Structure 1
Amino acid sequence: MAAVDEWETAAPRRRRSGARRPRARAVAAAAAGSPEAGLEADPGVVLRRLREAEGDLLLSDFWSSALDTVNRCLTKHREQLEAPVGSLSGALGRLHLAESAVAPGSAPADAVAPGACQLKCVCYGLGSFATCVVARNQLAFLLLLLEKCQIPRSHCWVYDPLFSPLEIAVLNRLGVAVLSENEEGKRSVAGEPTLFYMVHCGTALYNNLLWRNWSVDALSKMLIIGNSFTGLQERLLTRTLQKSYSYIAKVLKGLEELEFAQTAQYVDTFNDTAVHWFPVQKLQQLSTEVWTFREEPEYQDCEDLEIIRKERRKSPQPLS
């Protein structure tokens, strides 16, 4: 057990570092050769470890700090949806979340306002949480976040091509919806406020998500918890960002992000993680040319893509 945990924390995501081996591949390699992999055959064991991870998170300084960061972005996002700004005429929805600033003697900082919440959630790239401590902590954070934001688990969709049948069974027990198809991040918000939880995912996944929702209306309904876009800009060569991940490059001036504060306990789990949202005023300031180009990303000449792509069906050969 100790040996497995040591491997899982041996290669953390370094802030502002160069390209690395994708976490998904590293986790897969570890799980395949790990003596622990054969011991995780009982969903009850995985669920118990998840509960322990949730308990540890709740007692940590990181949880209260991260929740405050999320709440600050969600509060601004809620106000944007409620206000008749620009092309968003009328109220587009209500997110019942507490203000980040709480007066002395009032409700605790992690409280949320009562009432139904229309926010939906999509989670990509958790990895093998049955055998990987980092992935398990990320799932525990997601479950706690759903509870605090009053998002029903049935309104949370999750996917990772690495999920084993055991992990899918655990997720089904938890009540979240497991997607059956690899969407490669190309999921539309379909007019509904949506939180995307994508910690330590490949850059192409974020780029695909932006492409699929490339309009002021759609982006203004999105929030993303994932790799800092500012960090991506600093790590990648400008020509690489503009050529391979053009939608990230174009949206940098149209977003706001707040990074998670770091603690030693969760530095491997949430380093370089930020909450992103897209103010309408900033999006509307982008040039017309930015919105006109909407070509689907291909990544044909992109090295170290860091995502697992879905299988393409071969076109039937014509009969000779």
Structure 2
Amino acid sequence: MAAAAATTLEPWQAAAPRRRRSAARRPRQREAAARDPETEIEADSGVALRRIREAKEDLLISDFWSSALETINSCLTKHLEQLKCPVRAVSDALGNLHLDLPDESDVAPGSIPGENLVTRPCHLKCVCYGIGNFATCVIARNQLAFLLLLLEKCQIPRSHCWVYDPLFSQLEITILNTLGVIVLSENEEGKRSVCGEPTIFYMLHCGTALYNNLLWSNWSADALSQMILIGNSFRGLQERLLARILQKNYPYVAKILKGLEELEFPQTSQFMDVFNDTSIHWFPVQKLEQFSPDIWASREEPDYQDCEDLEIIRNEKRTATDWKLP
């Protein structure tokens, strides 16, 4: 619009004294610089990082955080015991929390932000789906702050955390890169294998199909026993959905209900909207081994063609042959 105005006014400017023409252009140059996308993203990133830091600080002093840690510690200890991991090392890690979100000025050239904060017990990884637009949404920002604290508490380097939401803006991708987590470039629809490594999946308030896809991608006793899932309560899903709907549309969720243990997150008024209906789930080997061979043999990929109110964004570019089972 500014360019069009300049074209219209050019004949009049040509007749004006040179000094006045130059003075008239300076404000436009400053305005153009102020609207530069990179400059705006840099400024907005600083604001968003400050807000994330404030959200982290609020979480740290809350009753919710201390209670949630007890719940996570209880589940994680049992999970790592079955994987023959050194539980004492995990307990030591859970007792020493220190996290400062990095400013860009704090990051050494060539280094990954947050990489030097932790050492990993049992090589835990983390995958986060569906966290939402944290730059503009307070609920999503609190969920991201919790994720960053969780990584530090479990001694998972940020470079071993993969994050994706199809709604991320370019600003949010820039912020996540600054924080040092890995932003996935493609919509996996939750179809990610643990690849034999203990993995925490952080999936708050996600669609049921996303959990169903994740279970399908890891449909074996060995793979599921490597997983911890923080997300919607599976007990709650069972109570809200009719049994026939659950079995038809989300068969892997329906089948795994007898093969998991679930601990509910604490509920406090301060974070009711952020962590409501949230539980941490793990899959004891003893329960999984009780499943019949027929249950494990049935591994048809979900298609959701007849599923109403599907609460995930599909990736239309990928076909069934693109997904690899463990």
Asked if Structure 1 and Structure 2 have the same fold, meaning a TM-score greater than 0.5 normalized by the shorter chain, the answer is: yes
Is the counterpart of residue 306 in structure 1 residue 318 in structure 2?
no
Q: Is the 8 A contact 1:67 1:110 kept in 2?
A: no
**Aligned counterpart, 1:133:** 138
**Aligned counterpart, 1:116:** 120
Residue 111 of structure 1: how far off its partner (Å): 3.9
Q: Is the 8 A contact 2:128 2:203 kept in 1?
A: yes
Within-5 A mapping of 1:122-271 = 122-271=127-276
Cα distance in structure 2, aligned partners of 1:68 and 1:131: 30
- Matching residue's letter, 1:126: I
Matched residue SS, 2:68: helix
- Matching residue's letter, 2:90: L
Identity of aligned residues (%): 72
- Matching residue's letter, 2:120: A
Cα offsets for 1:204-263 (capped at 9, x unmatched) = 000000000000000000000000000000000100000000000000000001000100
Cα distance in structure 1, aligned partners of 2:262 and 2:287: 13
Within-5 A mapping of 1:91-106 = 94=86, 96-98=89-91
Cα distance change of structure 1 residues 108 and 152 upon mapping to structure 2, 3 Å threshold: closer
- Matching residue's letter, 1:71: N
Cα distance in structure 2, aligned partners of 1:194 and 1:109: 17
- Matching residue's letter, 1:44: G
Cα distance in structure 2, aligned partners of 1:60 and 1:172: 28
Indicate the structure (1 or 2) with the bigger Cα radius of gyration: 2
Cα distance in structure 1, aligned partners of 2:146 and 2:79: 21
Cα distance in structure 1, aligned partners of 2:86 and 2:214: 23
- Matching residue's letter, 1:80: Q
- Matching residue's letter, 1:188: S
**Aligned counterpart, 1:48:** 50
Cα distance in structure 1, aligned partners of 2:42 and 2:233: 33
Q: Is the 8 A contact 1:214 1:291 kept in 2?
A: yes
Q: Is the 8 A contact 1:68 1:109 kept in 2?
A: no
**Aligned counterpart, 1:60:** 62
Residue 39 of structure 1: how far off its partner (Å): 10
Cα distance change of structure 1 residues 313 and 242 upon mapping to structure 2, 3 Å threshold: closer
Which of 71, 74, 85 is equivalent to 1:72?
A: 74
Cα distance in structure 2, aligned partners of 1:205 and 1:160: 12
Matched residue SS, 2:307: coil
Cα distance change of structure 1 residues 279 and 52 upon mapping to structure 2, 3 Å threshold: same
Cα distance in structure 1, aligned partners of 2:57 and 2:247: 42
Residue 158 of structure 1: how far off its partner (Å): 0.1
Cα distance in structure 2, aligned partners of 1:167 and 1:174: 10
Cα distance in structure 2, aligned partners of 1:299 and 1:108: 41
Q: Is the 8 A contact 1:199 1:225 kept in 2?
A: yes
Aligned length: 258
Q: Is the 8 A contact 2:233 2:278 kept in 1?
A: yes
Cα offsets for 1:134-185 (capped at 9, x unmatched) = 0000000000010111100000000000000000000000000000000000
Cα offsets for 1:269-306 (capped at 9, x unmatched) = 00110000000000001112111100000000001110
- Matching residue's letter, 1:206: Y
Q: Is the 8 A contact 2:64 2:267 kept in 1?
A: yes
Greater fraction helix: 2
**Which blocks of at least 5 consecutive residues in structure 2 are unaligned?**
1-39, 98-117, 320-326
Q: Is the 8 A contact 2:236 2:277 kept in 1?
A: yes
Q: Is the 8 A contact 1:126 1:135 kept in 2?
A: yes
Q: Is the 8 A contact 2:133 2:167 kept in 1?
A: yes
Cα offsets for 1:182-213 (capped at 9, x unmatched) = 00000000000000000000000000000000
- Matching residue's letter, 2:297: T
Matched residue SS, 1:268: helix
**Aligned counterpart, 1:10:** none
Give the CA RMSD over aligned residues: 2.0
Matched residue SS, 2:90: coil
Cα distance change of structure 1 residues 44 and 236 upon mapping to structure 2, 3 Å threshold: same
Cα distance change of structure 1 residues 40 and 248 upon mapping to structure 2, 3 Å threshold: farther
Cα distance in structure 2, aligned partners of 1:143 and 1:262: 20
Cα distance in structure 2, aligned partners of 1:288 and 1:256: 21
Residue 94 of structure 1: how far off its partner (Å): 5.0
Matched residue SS, 2:200: strand
**Aligned counterpart, 2:34:** none
Q: Is the 8 A contact 2:93 2:155 kept in 1?
A: no
Cα offsets for 1:87-128 (capped at 9, x unmatched) = xxxxxx556421xxxxxxxx897447x963210000000000
